Structures are given as C-alpha cells and as structure tokens.
C-alpha cells in the first residue's frame, strides 16, 4: 500500500485508488429485476426494490458521464436483466455521445438474451459493438430448471439477432458442479463453432439462495485441467477490460476465458467499480463498503459534490475481496444478491 489517497476532484482527472490502480471501467446496474430466477443468483421468490428507490435514467446518465469525464473508458450496462427496464434504450442513445466524442472506448452490456431480439439492431445503432450473453447450458430442459422461468429458444433467437445486427457476442457460463460440468466441452465447441468467445465463471458467494453454494461450486482449475486433456490451451495476454484471463484453443481456433474469484482472484489488477440501480457505488464486489451517489446527484445540479463523493470513494477502494466457499462458511460472503450489485 502506498499510503496515498485521492484528493477530492476540483476538475476532471484520472481516478486512482490507494494501491495505484487506475479505475477505467464502470459497471452500471439499471435494475435489480430479472425475467429469470437463476438458481445460483437469486431465490425464486424475490422481493425487488420499489421503483421509487431507483435512479432515473437521466440520473444514471449524469453519473456515468461524470465517470467518463474522470477517465473511465468502458461502461457496461447490467442488471438484473438490463433490457427489462422501461425505456432503457434512451440511456444507450444518450451515452452513445461519449463514443462519438472519443471520450469513451466502449459501451456494452451483459444480458440473459431473453429480450435481445427486440433491441439488437438499436443497440448496434447506438455504438454497442459487443455483448455478453449469460448461457449455462444448451439443453432446453436443463435451461428451464437452471433459470426457473427461462426459454432457451428466445435466448438463441436473441443471439442470432445480435449477430445479424453486427454485434460480437461472447458467451458467459457459470460452471456448476453436477449440473453443467459435463457440458463444458459442448459449450466450448458450439460457441467457437459460431465464432463466439466463451468465458467460464466460478460461482460466487453473494446473497441467500436455496441450498448451499459449496454444493454448486466447481473450481475452474479442475475444469481447465480436464479441458487440457482434450484441447491444446495456449495462454494469451489478450484482455477485454475485465477480470477474465484467456487461452487460445488450437483445435477450435477460438478464445476461452476464465474468471476465477475463488481459486485465483484477480484483485491485483482490478480497474473496476460498480454502480447499483439505487446509486450505491461499490468499490469491490466482495466487500460491503459503498458510497451513496444518489444524494449528491439529487442535492445539486452541479456535479462538484458528485465528483468529490466519487473521488472519496475511490480513495477507499480495498486491495481485494474475501470470498470463501466451504462447509464452515455456510452464509454468503455478502448478503446482497448479484442482481442487486449488477451482474
């Protein structure tokens, strides 16, 4: 630790945390609501936030723009399921101005794909160039069991619509013990056969669910070792701005990513912070500390207080998370669900 802190911003400038890491990536949850109830993400009987607690789309734009002015180069819109929020495309249209000026390198989103067919063409028109689609199985019956409410055919239709619109699609799959671990090779060959990257993700201890996450947890170190028995995996320095570490698969020619918060955390290079739909800024996914950005947005039409609050928050960004999954830690590391913080 350097012992330095970030001074309150009097003018736009880079956001640097106490460990010298520059924050260039903001993940923005626009809603905690979702049209799925994935078993590793939330309970089936969820109580969602009242709409009055949510930031307006105009407030979300204002906060995102303040981050862009202070050096954030990538915005990812998340949820819940972001595309279920009413009038969400107006936010994409507004934020696209930062792409046009060159202040922003990338505007993108993570989606479950259920609403993608309706919005793919307009997303592309707003300057979105790639999207992440969460998809854990290609088996329709298993997909419905995993998502509880999901329809695999709609997701597949959304992926095809996105590709027709010129969007590059990356598939995200959570590796789940005794659920889809026998399908990972199939997901890999299917995704690469369609020209899509695949990223595998370890399940994370966020929020209460039915059952225990230790029963779902599949270490990606084990998955990688299994894949290496069939495929030639060559490490690469390629990055997409997030925590994934990539290999190239010689037999498919495609790229495979691993996000490993449990077996090998990626905190040393963390460049990200997360904004919830209620205006809470989390400097670390795995810690409870947050800064309230809704108050400064609503307290003044000037962005001075907002920018000062952001700077003070970045000065508290911790070195890393404390995720643990084992039989001795039956409760989640943090109480909030992933859909609350932003997927």
Q: Which of 334, 273, 339, 226 is nearest to 16 (CA)?
A: 273
20 is in an annotated binding site: no
Unique residue bearing structure tokens 């298993």: 142
What distance in Å separates the CA atoms of residue 196 and residue 159, rounded to the nearest whole number?
10
Residue 272 marked as a ligand binder: yes
Q: Is 110 annotated as a binding residue?
A: yes
| Residue 207: DSSP 8-state | S
Distance CA 294, CA 262 (A): 32
Question: Cβ atoms within 10 A of the Cβ of 334, count?
Answer: 22
**27 labelled ligand-binding:** yes
Q: Any binding-site annotation on 43?
A: no
Query: Is position 76 annotated in a ligand binding site?
Result: yes
Residue 273 counted as an annotated binding residue: yes
Q: Rounded to 10 degrees, what is the CA torsion of 249, 253, 257, 258?
A: -10
In whole angstroms, what is the distance from residue 250 CA to residue 247 CA? 9
Dihedral Cα 117, 122, 123, 129, nearest 10 deg: 100
DSSP at 82: G
Residue 41 is labelled as binding a ligand: yes
Stated as kind and residue range, the H or E segment containing 152 is: helix 152-164
298 is in an annotated binding site: no
Tell me the three state secondary structure of residue 173.
strand
Q: Are 33 and 81 in contact (CB under 8 A)?
A: yes
Query: Any known ligand binding at 260?
Result: no
Q: Is 84 annotated as a binding residue?
A: no
Asked if residue 270 belongs to a known ligand binding site, the reply is yes
Q: Is 267 annotated as a binding residue?
A: yes
Give the residue numbers of the binding site for GTP. Answer: 27, 76, 110, 170, 272-274
Give the residue numbers of the binding site for S-adenosyl-L-methionine. Answer: 40, 80, 134, 204
Give the residue numbers of the binding site. Answer: 27, 34, 38, 40-41, 76, 80, 110, 134, 170, 204, 267, 270, 272-274, 284
Give the residue numbers of the binding site for [4Fe-4S] cluster. Answer: 34, 38, 41, 267, 270, 284
């Amino acid at each position: 630790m350097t012992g330095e802190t970030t001074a309150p911003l009097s003018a736009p400038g880079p956001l640097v945390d106490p460990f010298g890491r520059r924050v260039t990536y903001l993940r923005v949850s626009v809603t905690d609501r979702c049209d799925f109830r994935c078993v590793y993400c939330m309970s089936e009987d969820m109580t969602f936030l009242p709409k009055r607690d949510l930031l307006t789309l105009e407030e979300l734009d204002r906060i995102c723009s303040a981050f862009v002015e202070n050096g954030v180069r990538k915005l990812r819109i998340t949820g819940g399921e972001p595309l279920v929020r009413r009038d969400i495309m107006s936010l994409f249209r507004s934020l696209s101005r930062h792409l046009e000026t060159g202040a922003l390198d990338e505007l993108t989103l993570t989606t479950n794909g259920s609403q993608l067919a309706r919005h793919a063409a307009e997303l592309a028109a707003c300057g979105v160039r790639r999207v992440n689609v969460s998809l854990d199985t290609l088996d329709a019956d298993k997909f419905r069991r995993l998502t509880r409410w999901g329809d695999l055919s709609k997701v597949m239709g959304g992926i095809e619509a996105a590709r027709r619109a010129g969007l590059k699609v990356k598939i995200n799959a959570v590796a789940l013990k005794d659920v889809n671990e026998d399908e990972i090779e199939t997901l890999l060959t299917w995704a690469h056969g369609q020209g899509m990257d695949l990223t595998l993700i370890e399940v994370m201890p966020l929020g209460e669910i039915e059952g225990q996450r230790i029963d779902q947890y599949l270490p990606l170190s084990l998955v990688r070792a299994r894949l290496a028995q069939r495929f030639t995996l060559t490490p690469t320095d390629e990055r997409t701005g997030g925590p994934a570490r990539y290999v190239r698969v010689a037999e498919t020619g495609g790229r495979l990513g691993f996000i490993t918060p449990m077996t090998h955390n990626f905190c040393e290079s963390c460049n990200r912070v997360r904004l919830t739909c209620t205006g809470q800024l989390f400097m670390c996914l795995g810690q409870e500390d947050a800064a309230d950005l809704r108050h400064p947005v609503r307290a003044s039409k000037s962005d001075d207080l907002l920018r000062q609050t952001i700077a003070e928050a970045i000065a508290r960004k911790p070195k890393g998370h404390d995720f643990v999954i084992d039989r001795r830690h039956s409760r989640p590391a943090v109480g909030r669900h992933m859909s609350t913080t932003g997927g």
